[in-house]
Amino acid sequence: MRYRFPHLALLLSILLPLWCAASETTGPSTSPTKGSPDRINTIFAGYDLYTLRPKAAAAFSLNGVVIGYNIDFRITSNHPLYLGTGMDARLTFRDKTFHDTATYDEIKAKVSTKFLNFNIPLNLSYRMPVSELLYVIPQIGFDFRIQALGKKTTTISSPAKPESVAQTNGFTPGSVNLFSKNALGPQALRRFQAGWHAALKLQYDQFVLGISYGTDFAKLRNELGSSNLLVNLGYMF
């Protein structure tokens, strides 16, 4: 936790003055409260780059999709400041093939990894009007994640070598549940994570394009963290 909260403090120190400045300098034609309803619903879909970050090894990424729903409630009468929550589902996957090298003793192995998780955010956002239909929306928040599926499948192709050679080189054919303590012991992953994110959204009329980046402080394992880069398109109503 000591590594993450300074990031949040930095984000707040940057965004809050911007919000205050925007509310003080905005003219009558782009009043910050004009066009800011008491409640905003958003459905969205997009791309998720899910990166796993081992402490003692190189990071690697899974690509996937995200689909979700957010609801934001206006919490002040004088400024368009919103508190929001919702839920989204993220499916990410990665295929990696190892083959014909001295390191793997001419073993050809395909390793497929897949994750499905559900995320509940708690967001604070501010709608800064650029014109009557165009808004810039900075956002910060926390994420609470439940892992529904984590699976690694290894397929071995070794026509000239017995299966024991593949296992000696670190490949065990078949599928394994990455959250199973029976299968992985202390290497099993945790099903619950928590983290933070920062986002920037561009709204035009009822459509919104957003980009978000976040990391976790309650990790998959003590030595294994993760991050998410999301790009999505939504519809607000």
In which band, very low, low, confident or very high, does the pLDDT at 49 lie, cut at 50, 70 and 90? very high
Domains and CATH numbers, the chain: 5-11+38-236 (2.40.160)
Q: Give me the helices (H) in the chain, please.
A: 5-25, 163-168, 181-184
Q: What is the mean pLDDT of residues 45-67?
A: 95
Please state the pTM of the whole predicted model: 0.78
pLDDT of residue 105: 54
Tens digits of residue pLDDT in 177-231: 999 999 899 999 999 999 999 999 999 999 999 999 999 999 999 999 999 999 9
DSSP codes of every residue in 87-107: EEEEEEEEEEEE-S-TTTTT-
pLDDT of residue 7: 55
pLDDT of residue 4: 46
Gap between the Cα atoms of 84 and 71, Å rounded: 5
In which band, very low, low, confident or very high, does the pLDDT at 26 lie, cut at 50, 70 and 90? very low
Mean pLDDT for all residues in the chain:
84
Question: 153-159 long-range contacts, Cβ below 8 Å, gap at least 24?
Answer: 153/111, 153/112, 153/113, 153/114, 154/109, 154/110, 154/111, 154/112, 155/109, 155/110, 155/112, 156/107, 156/108, 156/109, 157/99, 157/107, 157/108, 157/109, 157/110, 158/106, 158/107, 158/108
pLDDT of residue 118: 98
